Structure formats: structure tokens, C-alpha cells
Amino acid sequence: MTTATVTDERIARTSTVTKLLKRPEIGALVAAIVIFVFFAATTSVFATAPGASTWLRGASTIGIMAVAVALLMIGGEFDLSAGAMTGFTGLVVGVLTTEYGLNIWAAILVSLALALLVGFINGVLVMKTGLPSFIVTLGTFFVLQGIDLAGTKALIGQVAIQGMSSVPYYDSAKKVFGSAADIGGGLVYASVFWWLAVTVLATWILLRTRTGNWIFSVGGQQTAARQIGVPVFKTKVGLFMTTAGAGWLVGMLLLFTTSTVQSNTGVGQEFIYIICAVVGGCLMTGGYGSAIGAALGALIYGMVNQGIVYSGWDNNWLKAFLGVMLLGAVLLNEWVRKRAETAR
């Protein structure tokens, strides 16, 4: 074998490894496999159809939001109002239908319009004022939380919606957002199919469309992106509206799966969405990430959240795991990025 042949083989191997390392979701994929194998081996329920049904359901709603938040983070921004949005949209539908008798599909459309309006306002404020999205959306978070608590209590005298199942045409909406199919002895909820659809759509947009190129550009080099004609304002406002729209979708899934919603629904979840996106390969600085990775990050969260229960551990360990997972993901992402750059 000649020296040139050996060199060519080394280059080929290096090129393959480099390509794998450049994939943002590779770390999350490995972690998801390890966690699945661990809980499947240490518990008797985790890998069964009923057991998987539980952690898939939990991961699905987190996953939808994590994918949307990942798109926004790739675009260089954050949305801390994403969690409160899920409760806000559910409460809008609940109040309009149970208290004011509005047709359920009309109420669903009203809540969607309000969610998109809030996302639009967030985007415009960030772009027009130059304030960090962290600050703008933190303000929106408190506004929505106040409306959810004080507004709902003022309108209906309580902080939870009751009687949704008796609303006319409730069953038709439940088929879309809250139904479940028995597969292999376990229930697979509509939210899981929505999660898969959102992940596929987001991945296609990022990797196969001009809009995806814009998202990576505005997150990585906003000034340069503007100079080459990328519509920075439209792209970023659209991303905020996308995150708000995902909040509406999760709000509907939660409402029609449980037939109720409370004023504190979704509050505090915004940090979990960000953690899942980071675990999936998104950089905090923007310009890099993956929708598939964010979905895998949510899958990891769902498996650990339920795996801890199946193992009989104290559920408070989940918070410690999230912290370790976030720090580990950030360090791993940096190491992988630097290694990939060195191997070029």
C-alpha cells in the first residue's frame, strides 16, 4: 500500500468523522440512546407500550415548543414568554366558550390570532428598540402571567376552566388536538403526531429552503446578512410569531387532552424549552442548531422525567439532572464545534 493511499484513507475517515461532529444533534442522539437503554434495563415498565406512551406524551408538548424555540435561538433570539403563552391560549378558548358561548372553533381561531399578535409585538419591539429579546419577552411573560391569573379570576371568579367537555362541538376539536390511538397496547396521543410533524416541517425549512438560510444568517452574522439582502426584520419577527404559534398549538393540545386548563399552566416551562434546544445542539450565541436535536432534547427530558418515577427515585432529582444536562451540553457543543473546525 502506497503512502498516498494511506493518506487518502485517513483523509476520508477524518472527513466522515468531521461531518458527524458538525451535526448539532449527534450528542443528543447518543444521550437519548444511553438514557433509553439505562431505564429500559433498570425498570420493568419503561420500555413497555404503556410506559413509552407516558413519556412520549410528556415529551411531545415539550418537543413542539423546543423545536420552535430552537428556530428562534438559531436566529439569535430568546422568548421567555413561550411557557405562559401555552396557558394563555388555552384560557382564552376556555373563557370564550364556557362563559360567553362562542363557537369552539371560532374561539380557537381567536386564541391563535392573539398568540400571533403577541409574537408580532415581541418581534417588533426587539427589532425596533434594539433591546435584548431576553428583556422584552421577560416583560411579556409577566404581562401574560398577570392576565392569566388576575384576568381569568376577574372574568369567571376562579383560576381554572371547568366544563369544557360539555361545550358544543368539543368532540370535533378533541379529535384534532386530544385524541389517542391504541398502538401495541399503549395510547399514542395526537400531540405525538403533531410533534413529529412540527419537527419534520422545521427541519425541512432549515435545510431545504431560503427561509432556513435566512434564519442561520440572521443568527450568525446579522449585519453581514442585512448587507447581502437578507430580510432581517421580517425573518426575526416571523420567528417570534412562530414561537407564539407553537405556544398556541401546545395550549390546544393540553386543553383538549385534559379538558381543563389552569392559570399557571406553562409557567416555568420556558427554561425547559431552552435547555432542550441547547441539549439538541443550539448555541446560545445563535447561528447554529437543529430542529431534530431540539426534538431529541425533549425526548431526553420526557424519558428522564418518567424514568425517575418508574425507578422510584425522588422526583426532585430531575432539576439537578436538568442543570447538569444544560452545562454538559454547552461544554460538549463548544468542544464539538472547535474539534470540527480544527479537523477541517
Q: Which domain holds residue 55?
A: 44-331
Q: Are 5 and 13 in contact (CB under 8 A)?
A: no
pLDDT tens digits along 155-203: 888 888 888 989 999 999 999 999 999 988 889 999 999 999 999 999 9
Domain for residue 146, yes or no? yes
Domain assignment present for 217: yes
Distance from the Cα of residue 82 to its chain's centroid: 9
Task: Give domain status of residue 20, yes or no.
Answer: no
Percent of the chain with pLDDT over 90: 63
**Structure confidence by residue, pLDDT tens digits, 208-257:** 999 999 999 998 788 888 888 999 999 999 999 999 999 999 999 999 99
pLDDT value for 12: 45
CATH number of the domain bearing residue 224: 1.10.3470
Query: Is 177 a member of any domain?
Result: yes
In a domain, 208, yes or no: yes
Does residue 165 belong to any structural domain of this protein?
A: yes
> Tens of pLDDT along 45-61?
999 999 999 999 999 99
Residue 9: band (very low, low, confident or very high) from pLDDT cuts 50, 70, 90: very low
Angstrom distances, CA of residue 73 to CA of 196, 221, 305 = 20, 13, 24
Structure pTM? 0.91
Total domain count, the chain: 1
Q: Is residue 39 part of a domain?
A: no
337 band by pLDDT with thresholds 50, 70 and 90: low
Residue 135 lies in a domain: yes
